[in-house]
Amino acid sequence: MRTAPEDSPAVPLLDINRENRLVRDEVQQALARVCDAGCFLYGDEVRRLEARIAERCQVAHAVSCASGSDALLLALMAHRIGAGDEVILPSFTFFATAGAVWRLGARPVFVDIDPVTYNLSPERVEAAITPRTRAVIPVHLFGRCAEMAAIGELAGRRDLMVIEDAAQAIAAVHGDRAAGAWGDIGCFSFYPTKNLGGFGDGGMLTTSDQATAERLRLLAAHGMHPRYYHSRVGINSRLDTLQAAVLNIKEGQLDRMTARRRANADRYREWFSATVDEAQVILPADDPHGFHVWNQFTMRIPDGRRDALRSFLQDRQIGTEVYYPVPLHRQDCFAELGYGSESLPHTECAAAEVLSLPIFPELTVAEQRAVVGGVADFFSAANRAVA
Ligand X SMILES: *Cc1c(COP(=O)(O)O)cnc(C)c1O
Q: Does residue 191 bind ligand X (CB under 6 A)?
A: yes
Please give the Cα distance from 64 to 203 (Å, whole number).
6
Q: Does residue 296 bind ligand X (CB under 6 A)?
A: no
Q: Does residue 240 bind ligand X (CB under 6 A)?
A: no
Q: Does residue 69 bind ligand X (CB under 6 A)?
A: yes
Min separation Cβ 200 and ligand X, Å: 10
Min separation Cβ 187 and ligand X, Å: 7
Cβ closest to ligand X, residue 201 vs residue 240: 201
Please give the Cα distance from 363 to 257 (Å, whole number).
11
Among 143, 186, 203, 361, binds ligand X (CB under 6 A): 203
Min separation Cβ 340 and ligand X, Å: 24
- Sequence-distant (≥ 6) Cβ neighbours of residue 279 within 8 angstroms: 302
Among 8, 97, 212, 237, binds ligand X (CB under 6 A): 97
Cβ-closest residue to ligand X?
68
Among 64, 91, 168, 368, binds ligand X (CB under 6 A): 168
Please give the Cα distance from 80 to 96 (Å, whole number).
18
Please give the Cα distance from 165 to 186 (Å, whole number).
6
Q: Which stretch binds ligand X (CB under 6 A): 27-35, 92-100, 128-136, 373-381?
A: 92-100
How many residues bind ligand X (CB under 6 A)? The answer is 15
Q: How far is CA 60 from the centre of its chain?
A: 22
Among 34, 65, 94, 245, binds ligand X (CB under 6 A): 94
- Sequence-distant (≥ 6) Cβ neighbours of residue 121 within 8 angstroms: 111, 112, 113, 114, 346
Please give the Cα distance from 155 to 126 (Å, whole number).
9
Cβ closest to ligand X, residue 142 vs residue 268: 142
Closest to 188 in 3D by CA, of 303, 66, 101, 273? 66
Among 73, 88, 96, 239, binds ligand X (CB under 6 A): 96
Q: Are 88 and 133 a contacting pair, CB within 8 Å?
A: yes
The string of DSSP codes covering 190-210 is --TTSSS--SS--EEEEES-H
The string of DSSP codes covering 79-105 is TT--TT-EEEEESSS-THHHHHHHHTT
Min separation Cβ 168 and ligand X, Å: 5
Q: Does residue 167 bind ligand X (CB under 6 A)?
A: yes
Closest to 205 in 3D by CA, of 29, 75, 85? 75
Coil, helix or strand at residue 115: coil
Q: Kindly state the helix (H) or strand (E) to which residue 332 belongs, with its residue range.
A: none
Q: Are 293 and 169 a contacting pair, CB within 8 Å?
A: yes
Min separation Cβ 92 and ligand X, Å: 10
Helices (H), the chain: 16-21, 24-37, 44-57, 68-78, 96-103, 122-128, 148-158, 210-219, 241-251, 254-275, 306-315, 345-353, 365-386
Question: What part of residues 39-68 is at the interface with ligand X (CB under 6 A)?
Answer: 67-68
Min separation Cβ 91 and ligand X, Å: 12
Min separation Cβ 159 and ligand X, Å: 25
Cβ closest to ligand X, residue 69 vs residue 280: 69
Q: Which stretch binds ligand X (CB under 6 A): 81-89, 94-102, 148-156, 328-336?
A: 94-102
In order of 24, 170, 238, the CA distances from 199 in angstroms are 12, 17, 15
Cβ closest to ligand X, residue 90 vs residue 234: 90
Q: Does residue 170 bind ligand X (CB under 6 A)?
A: no
Question: What part of residues 10-29 is at the interface with ligand X (CB under 6 A)?
Answer: none
Min separation Cβ 292 and ligand X, Å: 15
Q: Does residue 165 bind ligand X (CB under 6 A)?
A: yes
Q: Does residue 139 bind ligand X (CB under 6 A)?
A: yes
The reply to whether omega before 42 is within 30° of 0 (cis) is no
Min separation Cβ 75 and ligand X, Å: 11
Q: Does residue 201 bind ligand X (CB under 6 A)?
A: yes
Q: Does residue 118 bind ligand X (CB under 6 A)?
A: no
- Residues at the contact surface with ligand X, assessed by CB under 6 A: 67-69, 93-94, 96-97, 139, 165, 167-168, 189, 191, 201, 203
